[in-house]
Amino acid sequence: MKSAVITFPGSNCDRDMDVALKKFGFKNKMVWHQDVELPKSDLVVLPGGFSYGDYLRCGSMASKSKIMQSVINFANSGGMVMGICNGFQILVETGLVPGVLLRNKYLEFICKNVFVKISAKDSAYFKNIKNDVLELHIAHNEGNYFCTNDQLKEIEDNAQVAINYCNNEGKIEKSFNPNGSIKNIAGIFNKEKNVLGMMPHPERMIDSSLSGEDGSLFFKNLINNIK
Amino acid sequence: MKISVIITLKKDVLDPQGKVIHQALDGMGFNDVNEVRQGKYFEIDTKETDPQKAKNKVEEMCKKLLANLVIENYKIIDAQ
């Protein structure tokens, strides 16, 4: 399986993602934001970080960079595109997934482990993961998911919510919402579910020397499902 | 010509920064403030000399980059 990770100026989780993808069997290529064409890939990843210093709005400048037209075409033709953290912010700015990510409700940068419930298991990203709840890491200042009421209705009608913040038993309640996201949303799909945007970083949970290994479940499952 | 644009958050979008500024003003003794909403201001100096054409171009810029229309409104407030 071939993957590509896009590096923007200010990306800082691109190499972690490269390590994670390779560890679980992907042949990964790093792609610079000024490139025009994507290498042949089964999965394209927009990594976390602070692309363009979060100028204007997080992800807004990166969403207009040269490589993004190829990424948008790839996604629109059914290719799998995953945006993590800043990558999620870039995805919403391209319009590939609905909504926006606002400043965290309590204006704090949040860096901690959280639990998320897998709310839709019918996509290649989460299909066949046995656990309903994963412990993953978040580190963001703008992760407060927001969308209009019409968008929310559409997202829910199409079961586009991928993961929600919850407790270790999978209970989705306000008190387990770290950033004020509507309905505790931590990640969403596009309508066709080939594009996934999520705030948590699975690539930070892939080794016993890190604070958990639930990210390994995610990547092992992912490579098995892309076939 | 110079076009001035302000970008504001839509009414039903939470503005935590505005809230904190409001609280600070309260603490400073400005007790009669009802609400504070924070926005952005841009000055765009363009080669275009026709005011209507310049405004149209800036409007396109707002829609494509400067504002995110899910949460923000834009308003061209000056062209000279």
> Using a CB-CB distance cutoff of 8 angstroms, which residues of chain B are in contact with residue A56?
65-66
Determine contact, residues A118/A132, Cβ cutoff 8 Å.
Answer: yes
Q: What is the pLDDT of residues B41-57, one digit of tens each?
A: 999 999 999 999 999 99
Q: What is the pLDDT of residues A2-54, one digit of tens each?
A: 999 999 999 999 999 999 999 999 999 999 999 999 999 999 999 999 999 99
The pLDDT score that the predictor gives to residue A87 is: 98
The pLDDT score that the predictor gives to residue A118 is: 97
Say yes or no to pLDDT of A136 above 90: yes
B70:A146 CB<8 A:
yes
B68:A60 CB<8 A:
yes
**Which one of B14, B66, B70 has the shortest CB-CB distance to A147?**
B70
Maximum alpha-carbon separation in chain B? 47
Q: Taking residues A87-97, report their average pLDDT.
A: 98
Which residue does chain B place closest to A181, by CA atoms?
A: B14
> Using a CB-CB distance cutoff of 8 angstroms, which residues of chain B are in contact with residue A57?
68
Say yes or no to pLDDT of A149 above 70: yes
In this structure, what CATH number is given to the domain that contains residue B47?
Answer: 3.30.1280.10
Say yes or no to pLDDT of A125 above 70: yes
**A201 in active site:** yes
Chains A and B: how many Cβ contacts under 8 Å?
A: 32
The pLDDT score that the predictor gives to residue A13 is: 97
The pLDDT score that the predictor gives to residue A226 is: 87
Which residue does chain A place closest to B42, by CA atoms?
A: A56
Say yes or no to pLDDT of B2 above 80: yes
B16:A106 CB<8 A:
yes
Q: Taking residues A156-179, report their average pLDDT.
A: 97
Which of A85, A140, A142, A166 is the catalytic position?
Answer: A85
Determine contact, residues A221/A126, Cβ cutoff 8 Å.
Answer: yes
Say yes or no to pLDDT of A225 above 70: yes
Say yes or no to pLDDT of A227 above 90: no
Q: How distant is the Cα of A58 from the closest Cα of chain B, in angstroms?
A: 11
DSSP assignment string, B20-72: HHHHHHHHTT-TT-------EEEEEE-S---HHHHHHHHHHHIIIII--TTTE
Average pLDDT across chain B, whole number: 95
**A137 in active site:** no
Say yes or no to pLDDT of B39 above 80: yes
B13 touches chain A (CB under 8 A): yes
Q: Domain tally for chain B? A: 1
ipTM beyond 0.95? no
Say yes or no to pLDDT of A142 above 70: yes
Which of A33, A137, A140, A201 is the catalytic position?
Answer: A201
> Using a CB-CB distance cutoff of 8 angstroms, which residues of chain B are in contact with residue A96?
none
All structural domains of chain A? 2-225 (3.40.50.880)
Range of the domain at B26: 2-79
A102:B14 CB<8 A:
yes
Rounded CA-CA distance A170/A20 in Å is: 26
Angle between helices A214-225 and A14-23 (to 10 degrees): 70
The pLDDT score that the predictor gives to residue A78 is: 96
Q: What sign does the CA torsion over A145, A149, A153, A154 have?
A: negative
Determine contact, residues A221/A129, Cβ cutoff 8 Å.
Answer: yes
Say yes or no to pLDDT of B25 above 90: yes
> Using a CB-CB distance cutoff of 8 angstroms, which residues of chain A are in contact with residue B71?
100, 102, 146
Angle between helices A66-76 and A86-94 (to 10 degrees): 80
